[in-house]
Structure 1
Amino acid sequence: MTYQALYRVFRPQRFADVVGQEHVTKTLQNALLQNKISHAYLFSGPRGTGKTSAAKILAKAVNCEKAPATEPCNECPSCIGITNGSIPDVLEIDAASNNGVDEIRDIREKVKFAPTSVQYKVYIVDEVHMLSIGAFNALLKTLEEPPKHVIFILATTEPHKIPPTIISRCQRFDFRRIQPHSIVSRLRQVVDAQHVKASDEALLAIARAADGGMRDALSLLDQAISFSEEEVLLEDVLAMTGAVSSFMLASLVQAIHEKDVAKALQLLEQFMNQGKDPNRLIEDLIFYHRDLLLYKTAPHLEGGGRGVVVDQQFQQLAQSIAVPAIYETIEALNKSQQEMKWTNHPRIFLEVALVKLCHQEQRHTPSMSEEFYSLVKKVEHLEAELQRLKEQGISVAPKEPLSTVTKKTTKSPRTSGYKTPVGRIYEILKQATHQDLSLIKSHWTEMLDILKKQNKVSHAALLHESEPVAASSHAFVLKFKYEIHCKMAADNTNGVKENLESILFDLTHRRFEMVAVPDEEWGKIREEFIREKGMQREKEPEQEDVLIAEAKRLFGENLIEIKE
């Protein structure tokens, strides 16, 4: 017999063999068991995820002699005939080459006839999005009201190209990309059945290269078995797929971090001499930095990584590279990756990207919010340490009274450097009304909800500790609990101020300017304004008498009329 590819030998013959699509197989099995079989199904999803295999399994299950059952028996004449394609009532049609109106009309004519060998006629139309508009229109009526003995199963990788009138007549099932660990588990079963040795690292590299497709993974495994000698090793898979080992990739990332242009270009030259693909290399770089970012921000996250080996070298890189630097690197690499898609010389763009990253200035200084939360964490750590010492019976006597330390802390210069616009706040207070303030406060919670719905969670978090305290017809004073947040809002960091004013305009239909003030400053400004206002009221009668006396002196008493 001629050799058969692994993806054909190990094609799923039962729903249990379909990997990573439990949300589809469980629904179909329950429908089969309850005899709730639809007349039309639409299977959509990426290539190699089991759409056509699931369609054939469903065709066997509905026609199995032991039906109703959750799985075809694969032993009766119906199941065997559908598997080897000898039963004419189960037709598998390629819409890419049979996409005309005439082919669909031929199907419409044959649909009327009852099946000859099994209970149901099943039409499996692969790549159905390739049908012409005329063919879709010809299929509409038959798809909506087919004979009771006919089932249509449409499979596609591009469901957005199918008319909504077709989709609405089908039960739709979306097949997902298969997770790497599920692919590795299936590949392990295959190599064991083939009596082939393969390392776990090699299978994981194949799973990553397959990009969620089981058929691609089996094809790569077939190729790797032919490429290797006695055992499928990681080096064989990397050489075959053009991928880069984690150790070499970490060396390149280290060179970028250390701004060593010569070393980075030497490593790139080494990769190119080994036949590595520049597009694949930049993708591996992006995912490596992504893994670094996830490891730094969520070290206990399971299932979120792409399969990188968390060794000592990886941990050292994660510790030495700051999070903002990772953001900038991913952004620069992604931009270069987009440019590489439209050029005949992708290596040049990759070289330019590496040089840019090595010459990139260290702009990722910690922001005020990062400094604040870092200080909070340090204080919490010190409090926990102090509590531990107290539990051990060790008392620590402070060298200075707590009040003295507090005074020194309050007298220290502010780190944020925010200058409160006192004059502008005085102008708002002079024209402030209770009605304007009530208008803003009544929409404040709604404004925060809109920010969260817009995925502006950082904006909502920044405004969480704020409160409108005064408002005039065109502006309002917003009090912040922390001076750092006040500065960030006033400087319009990430468009907070602009977004806030825009949402309030939509809610109130009035344009309000936001003026930020820290909590500690607001108390002083308010007291000073009230004091000055009281002094002005006390002086008003005296000022009025002086004006009257001056008027009388200038114009005479007979020409002056005083009205209260």
Structure 2
Amino acid sequence: MSYQALYRVWRPQRFSDVVGQGLVVTTLKNAIITNQISHAYLFAGPRGTGKTSAAKIFAKAINCHHQTDGEPCNECPTCQAITAGQLGDVIEIDAASNNGVEEIRDIRDKAKYAPTQADYKVYIIDEVHMLSTGAFNALLKTLEEPPANVIFILATTEPHKIPLTILSRVQRFDFHRISAQDAFERMKFILDQKDLAYDEQALWVIANAAEGGMRDALSILDQALSFSDNQLALKDALLVTGSVTKQLLKQYFLQVAQGDSAQALATMTEVLGQGKDGQRFIEDLISFIRDILLYQESPDLLTLAATGLAAADFEELSQAATAQVLYTMIDTLNEIQEEMRFTTHPDVYLEVLTVRLSQQRPASSAAGAAPAEIAQLQAQIAELQKQVQSLLNRPAQPAAPVNQPTARPATKKPGGRSGEFRLNVEQVYQVLDHATKADLANLRELWGDALSLLSPAQHSLLNLAKPVAASPAGVVVAYDNDFLLAKAAGGDLATTLGQALQQVSGTARQVAFVPSGKWPTIRQEFLTSRGYYDQAGKAAAPKAPTPPADPLIAQAQQLFGADGIKIEDN
């Protein structure tokens, strides 16, 4: 016989084999024992959590004449026929491909006939939410007045799509995601039965990667066993799942927690260089920070064996950042993960993520201060308090009247503080006064060479920026991301970029930054201020043409008209 996947070979055949659904299993077994069997059930829950398997076990149990405590015997002809899918009275239907009115009418007509081999005729309709509106209406009458000895079991991953008229006529059972602990125990049991060597840490990696689906866990395990020649090691599980090693995650976290964005970018490049998936990297990092939070709250909340780290590692990690910083990190990770769903350049967002995480450490640096530094700060505070107290104890002196000048609003240089950006319009106009398309095309050809001269941190700040105008002595760079724009304008990136452009082009250039969203307005206002357009945005009336100095040009204009002549300097 050809090879069968693990999830098919080890599919539950008894209620006791169903993993992680204790409440559902107990209720169904008690219904069978007390003979309180309903005519319609709805099994709802995520994929791979045992809905269809439980439906087939239930069909066997109610038709088995040798069942014990609600469990089928799996040995009688009826049980074996249902297991093999060969009993005509247990019908499995895929609603994804049989979702029309005619198919449901056919079921309704055949349901009227009594079962031929079993006690109950059981219809298992998988992915029932895929039925059309007409099909649901056709099924409704049958559920409302079901024939004797006919049971419907509806299975779905999206119960919110099922009409309320259907939901009110069925008993609903919600299947929950399977915990990593339960998935780990099930995989360990299967590998012990198959007598295969394995690393328990590899099983934990697979259990976490399955995200609550037992079928997904067994599929990943099957793939990992094929890759590792039936000897499961940790490195094989990491490669198959695309997960990141705990030591690399620890290294990356400590670097961003300490504000070392350059080293963190290098670590992230190493992670991606190993072929790891960007989305998986963020998911692993969220789970990693969640473990640190739990350890900070109470070490007993965490199962160290499932994390792959020792208690000493968590002691170091929990001291690196406060809980508030960890909350902010998780929010940032969720935000970047959502944005990455729609991009073809995930590495850019991961670089932005690394820079942002490195900035989120207001309390961690103070928490890690040396005792001597804390004592020095406390002494300075005490001295300042004494000075304030001495000033308060002095007798009040009459103040001489002075003419106070009118307060002027404070001016701030563009990009003065991280997180804020002030547009320098005059600087942009200086570039636009002498800008040409030829200069812009030439600069775009040299743009990649200039960026290669920058540091990784500076390079990452320019990944979502592009030149939009250029002159022989300047360039206007537009940013799609406001956060990166503020970071670029607040540092010395403009100077460094100008120097890099001078190296590749031989000409010194002044760099001006603008937001991409405001660039069309800035360009329009410039053209209006220089007389190219009127205030309404329409092209200004052309000035009276001056007679050309070249007689040849004058003759050509007389022959073809001034509008038909284009003069170019070679």
TM-score (norm 2): 0.63
Partners of 2:356 and 2:215 in 1: CA distance: 39
Partner residue in 2 for 1:6: 6
Contact 2:74 2:80 in 1 (8 A): yes
Contact 2:257 2:361 in 1 (8 A): no
Partners of 1:357 and 1:211 in 2: CA distance: 25
Cα offset for 1:121?
0.3
Contact 1:99 1:132 in 2 (8 A): yes
Partners of 2:308 and 2:283 in 1: CA distance: 14
Partner residue in 2 for 1:327: 327
Aligned-pair identity (%):
55
Partners of 1:139 and 1:304 in 2: CA distance: 50
Contact 1:47 1:157 in 2 (8 A): yes
The SS at the match of 2:123 is strand
Partner residue in 2 for 1:272: 272
The SS at the match of 2:129 is helix
Partners of 1:294 and 1:120 in 2: CA distance: 50
When residues 412 and 128 of structure 1 are mapped into structure 2, their CA distance, relative to the original with a 3 A threshold, is farther
Partners of 2:360 and 2:10 in 1: CA distance: 50
Partner residue in 2 for 1:214: 214
Provide structure 2 residue ranges, at least 5 long, that are not aligned to the other structure: 368-384, 389-570
Partner residue in 2 for 1:285: 285
Partners of 1:309 and 1:222 in 2: CA distance: 26
Cα offset for 1:413?
13
Partners of 1:138 and 1:333 in 2: CA distance: 47
Partner residue in 1 for 2:164: 164
Specify the code of the residue in structure 2 equivalent to 1:208: N
Contact 1:15 1:57 in 2 (8 A): yes
Partners of 2:332 and 2:19 in 1: CA distance: 36
Partners of 1:162 and 1:287 in 2: CA distance: 33
Provide structure 1 residue ranges, at least 5 long, that are not aligned to the other structure: 368-410, 415-564
Partner residue in 2 for 1:347: 347
When residues 359 and 140 of structure 1 are mapped into structure 2, their CA distance, relative to the original with a 3 A threshold, is same
The SS at the match of 1:300 is helix
Partners of 2:52 and 2:153 in 1: CA distance: 9
Partners of 1:161 and 1:154 in 2: CA distance: 13
The SS at the match of 1:125 is strand
Partners of 1:306 and 1:166 in 2: CA distance: 42
Contact 2:320 2:364 in 1 (8 A): no
Counterpart mapping for 1:12-411 below 5 A: 12-67=12-67, 69-229=69-229, 231-301=231-301, 307=307, 309-360=309-360, 362=362
The SS at the match of 1:155 is strand
Cα offset for 1:359?
3.4
Cα offset for 1:332?
1.4
The SS at the match of 2:109 is helix
Contact 1:250 1:314 in 2 (8 A): no
Partner residue in 2 for 1:481: none
Contact 1:61 1:69 in 2 (8 A): no
When residues 146 and 304 of structure 1 are mapped into structure 2, their CA distance, relative to the original with a 3 A threshold, is farther
Superposed CA deviations along residues 285-340 of structure 1, whole A, max 9, x for unmatched, are 11111111111123332569974534422320112311221122111111111111
Superposed CA deviations along residues 84-113 of structure 1, whole A, max 9, x for unmatched, are 111111000000000000000000100000
Partners of 2:109 and 2:174 in 1: CA distance: 30
Contact 1:287 1:306 in 2 (8 A): no
The alignment's C-alpha RMSD in Å is 2.3
Cα offset for 1:149?
1.0
Contact 1:40 1:153 in 2 (8 A): yes
When residues 64 and 253 of structure 1 are mapped into structure 2, their CA distance, relative to the original with a 3 A threshold, is same
Specify the code of the residue in structure 2 equivalent to 1:291: D
Specify the code of the residue in structure 2 equivalent to 1:300: D
Cα offset for 1:45?
0.4
When residues 113 and 58 of structure 1 are mapped into structure 2, their CA distance, relative to the original with a 3 A threshold, is same
When residues 364 and 247 of structure 1 are mapped into structure 2, their CA distance, relative to the original with a 3 A threshold, is closer
The structure 1 segments of at least 4 consecutive aligned residues displaced by more than 6 Å after TM superposition are 303-306, 364-367, 411-414
Partners of 1:151 and 1:107 in 2: CA distance: 12
Partners of 1:195 and 1:361 in 2: CA distance: 49
The SS at the match of 2:122 is strand
Partners of 2:16 and 2:366 in 1: CA distance: 51
Contact 1:95 1:127 in 2 (8 A): yes
When residues 305 and 166 of structure 1 are mapped into structure 2, their CA distance, relative to the original with a 3 A threshold, is farther
